[in-house]
Amino acid sequence: MGDESGSYRSRAWRRGDVVAEGFPFAEISDYLDRGDCLVWVDVCDPDHALLGQLAEELSLDSLAVEDAVSSNERAKATRYATHTFLTVYATSMRATVTSGLESRLEISRVSAFVLPRCIVTVRYGDGFEMDPVVKRWDENRDLVQYGVGALVHGLLDTIVDGHFDAVQVLDDAIEALENDLFDDGALSNPVQRQTYRIRRELVDLRRVVLPMREVVSAVMRYRKVVNGAEELNSSYEDLYDHVLRASEWTESLRDMITTIFETNLSLQDARLNTVMKKLTSWAAIIAVPTAVTGYFGQNVPYPGFGREWGFVMSLVVIGVIALALYVSFKKRDWL
């Protein structure tokens, strides 16, 4: 089914093989009653009535249902009497933006009700597609036979991979920013705008990536308590390792962008000092002919007064002193 408002998808497995797709809510319990079936239901942009119907069908906790529809819910994993409720955030990076300060990071909330043999995913908007998750389940059919833990792993693994992709884009952007930072021909304003944008994107990404450590850790604990297949232990340990790497990578980039921001300010001060030294040096050089011509312009006799060689001598004095000052300032790297 499509992803129109209130739409949903459904699928049932038996021992790792797909046995049904697209069945309505009313048939979910029928598949679960068979004892050897695994069920997935995906709901996109649901209203309260649709979630109420689903909650009644699967006996979902009302607090979990309320969290699924609430906005600005933090990433978490909560254990209820009959199921576990997850809230995580998927990320993606837009290729283009309309302005230099606009964030490219797009964040989409994904909630999931995890029952012993059923998982229900709830999404809002089209920021996160379930097709990559379904593809991963299809590619790991040997794991699906071990129960709902395999479906949860596939969902979280796809989301964490999206985190890695976002971090990689920001890493490349920071590397390019470092090259521009020490480029004398680069303009300062674009560097400042890019630094601010990347810094804001990293702050938003950090709020999404860091809580994933607690979420995955809680899922691993709950999975072992409720029918946890040991065959999935290595997969979850690998997932947790990926979450740690993404968190550490995000933190390191945050330190790097802070360093770039401070370095950019220091470089601007250094460039300003260089400009002031150059202006002062040229002012000193220009002052020489002004002083000499002013001196020889006095209405008093001086060596060469009224003679052609006196004029030539004044030009020579101006040139020699100005050249001596230029060489002196050049050696000091003031010019």
Express the helix, strand and coil content of the chain in percent, nearest 5 each: 60, 15, 25
Q: Where are the beta strands (DSSP E) in 177-332?
A: none
Helices (H), 60-187: 62-69, 131-139, 141-144, 148-181
Question: What mean pLDDT do residues 97-116 have?
Answer: 84
Cβ neighbours, 10 Å, residue 264: 17
Distance of alpha carbon 97 from its chain centroid, rounded? 15
pLDDT grade for 302, boundaries at 50, 70 and 90: low
| Range name among 158-162, 225-229, 283-287 with the lowest pLDDT average | 225-229
Task: Say if residues 119 and 134 touch (Cβ distance below 8 Å).
Answer: no
pLDDT, greater one: 227 or 254:
254
Share of the chain above pLDDT 70, in %: 88
244 membership: H or E segment, kind and range: helix 233-296
What is the per-residue pLDDT across 260-276, written as a single tens digit (0 to 9) for each? 877 877 777 777 777 78
Task: Say if residues 260 and 178 touch (Cβ distance below 8 Å).
Answer: yes
Give the best-scoring range by mean pLDDT among 89-98, 212-221, 281-290, 295-304.
212-221
Residue 136 has pLDDT above 70, yes or no: yes
What is the per-residue pLDDT across 163-185, written as a single tens digit (0 to 9) for each? 999 999 999 988 888 787 766 65
- Select from 58, 75, 162 the least CA-distant residue to 120: 58
CA gap 174, 194 in Å, rounded: 9
Residue 46 has pLDDT above 50, yes or no: yes
Each as own residue / partner, the long-range contacts of residues 186-194 (CB below 8 Å, 24 or more positions apart, any chain) are 188/264, 188/268, 190/100, 191/264, 192/264, 193/100, 193/101, 194/100
CA gap 258, 264 in Å, rounded: 10
Residue 68 has pLDDT above 90, yes or no: no
Q: pTM for the full model?
A: 0.76
What is the per-residue pLDDT across 78-104, written as a single tens digit (0 to 9) for each? 999 889 999 999 999 887 766 667 788
- Select from 10, 75, 73 the least CA-distant residue to 216: 75
318 membership: H or E segment, kind and range: helix 308-331
Residue corresponding to tokens 């009497």:
81
pLDDT grade for 226, boundaries at 50, 70 and 90: low
Residue corresponding to tokens 């002196």:
328
pLDDT at 107: 92
CATH architecture type of domain 7-268:
2-Layer Sandwich (3.30)
pLDDT, greater one: 231 or 235:
235
pLDDT at 248: 93
